[in-house]
Amino acid sequence: MNTSTPSRVFSGVQPTGNLHLGNYLGAIRKFVDLQHEYECLYCIVDLHAITVWQDPAALRDQTLEIAAAYLAAGIDADKAIIFHQSAVSAHAELAWIFNCVARMGWLNRMTQFKDKAGKDKERASVGLFVYPNLMAADILAYRATHVPVGEDQKQHLELARDIATKFNNDFEAEDFFPLPEPLIKGAGARVMSLRDGTAKMSKSDPSDLSRIGMMDDADMIAKKIKKAKTDPEPLPDSLDGLNDRPEAKNLVGIYAALSGVTEEAVLAEFGGQGFGAFKPALADLAVEKVAPIAEEMRRLRNDPGYLEGVLGAGAQKADAIAAPILKEVKKVVGFLG
Ligand code: TYM
């Protein structure tokens, strides 16, 4: 980390619907803790969302849903800055400059583009290809130093560091941008599908049973855990025993992340027991942790005016940080003031 730069946290979630337990454990829960230590900006990345088709009415709705999730999870809008990306023009402007800094070869190596574009790359939007450049712009428009994310964003964070390094070198502006540090470690960094322990829990999985939704009620959460794929063996006594048992490993990991204990501690308690005993315990725990957030989300969703007010105020604060940085960037690049 560049120690001469003050610590600032930036992260974002796409308003693409189906917010799930992976988003919460991998990202949003960390956002809540970090707000006490750092200056934090938590963005709802609507510019990223439109890299694949979004129905406009649904996009508006989903943007408010993420705002509700941030608040319901415990982010304090007086402490952290909560806003939507399209309201602060620095993101798009800096992304263009980064489109001219990043190299085609770097983007060609991005695994997420390959996954999302699927077989027919020719039909993917250009935005989807340059998505990581926009992500770098999100972070660096604020000279953010720390970025809490799930494991799936690791490669994008490395690219952001490469872009910052190349910009600083190309323009001989040493330390102009800090090299942002990913904050990934810890339980919950990679929550897997409840239907397939080798695939990550994802918003776009066609099966709703694959994920615990942050708006699911207690019955739904319990049902999904009951139906989660498992194997016939009892839980092992030690971590090694979870090798080659991806579904069991995932459920133990979720239990550990939700309860704030290690996986070893979970196995110390449940080792030797079958899923008939473990699943109800996990369901109770998940309901205890998720249901209150879902309930508060539903309450907040009924007050869109309030949510829009929070986002509008947040956007002003975010713009006040990003605008002077963007002004400096333009000067460094050689644009007339
Ligand atoms: P998105 O919207 O896909 O996901 C939001 C956050 O949730 C994490 N996550 C998971 N963590 C653990 N297990 C899972 N199964 C799981 N699925 C998702 C993601 O890692 C992410 O932290 N590109 C980003 C959004 C973004 C961003 C940024 C993040 C845009 N600009 C700048 C940080 C900084 C994305 O699509 O997240």
Ligand 1 center from residue 172 Cα (angstroms): 32
pLDDT band per the 50, 70, 90 thresholds, residue 187: confident
Tell me if the pTM is above 0.85. Answer: yes
Same structural domain, 139 and 167: yes
Residue 200 within a domain: no
* CA 142 – CA 120 distance, rounded (Å): 35
Domain containing 82 equals: 8-189+303-333
Ligand 1 center from residue 302 Cα (angstroms): 26
* CA 1 – CA 145 distance, rounded (Å): 7
Specify the residue with its C-alpha closest to ligand 1, atom 5: 13
pLDDT band per the 50, 70, 90 thresholds, residue 4: very low
* CA 281 – CA 287 distance, rounded (Å): 10
Torsion sign (Cα): 299, 302, 306, 312? positive
Please indicate whether residue 201, judged by its CB atom, sits closer than 6 Å to ligand 1. Answer: yes
Question: What pLDDT does 84 receive?
Answer: 98
Torsion sign (Cα): 125, 131, 133, 137? positive
Q: What is the pLDDT of residues 122-147, one digit of tens each?
A: 999 999 999 999 999 999 999 999 99
Please indicate whether residue 139, judged by its CB atom, sits closer than 6 Å to ligand 1. Answer: yes
Q: What is the pLDDT of residues 227-241, one digit of tens each?
A: 999 999 999 999 999
pLDDT surpassing 90 at residue 119: no
Please indicate whether residue 21, judged by its CB atom, sits closer than 6 Å to ligand 1. Answer: no
Q: What is the pLDDT of residues 247-264, one digit of tens each?
A: 999 999 999 999 999 999
Length of the chain: 337
Same structural domain, 293 and 182: no
Question: What pLDDT does 2 receive?
Answer: 45
H/E element, 83: strand 81-84
Question: What pLDDT does 6 receive?
Answer: 58
Index of the ligand 1 atom closest to the CA of residue 189: 12
Same structural domain, 238 and 217: yes
Ligand 1 center from residue 230 Cα (angstroms): 26
Question: What pLDDT does 3 receive?
Answer: 47
Active site (catalytic) residues: 116, 200, 203
The DSSP bridge partners found for residue 309 are: none
Q: What is the pLDDT of residues 282-313, one digit of tens each?
A: 999 999 999 999 999 999 999 999 999 999 99
Residue 199 within a domain: no
Same structural domain, 178 and 293: no
Token output for 108: 């060609």
Instruction: From 13, 30, 214, 250, give the residue whose CB has the most ligand 1 atoms within 8 Å, as the site to mutate.
Output: 13
Residue 202 within a domain: no
How many alpha carbons lie under 13 Å from residue 85 in its C-beta half-sphere?
28
Same structural domain, 182 and 134: yes
Same structural domain, 150 and 228: no
How many angstroms separate the most distant Cα atoms in the chain?
70
Residues 148 and 73: beta-carbon distance below 8 Å: no
Q: How many domains does the chain have?
A: 2
Instruction: From 8, 45, 161, give the residue whose CB has the most ligand 1 atoms within 8 Å, as the site to mutate.
Output: 45
Residues 190 and 26: beta-carbon distance below 8 Å: yes
Residue 273 within a domain: yes
Q: List the Cα angle 64/65/68 in 5-degree steps.
A: 85
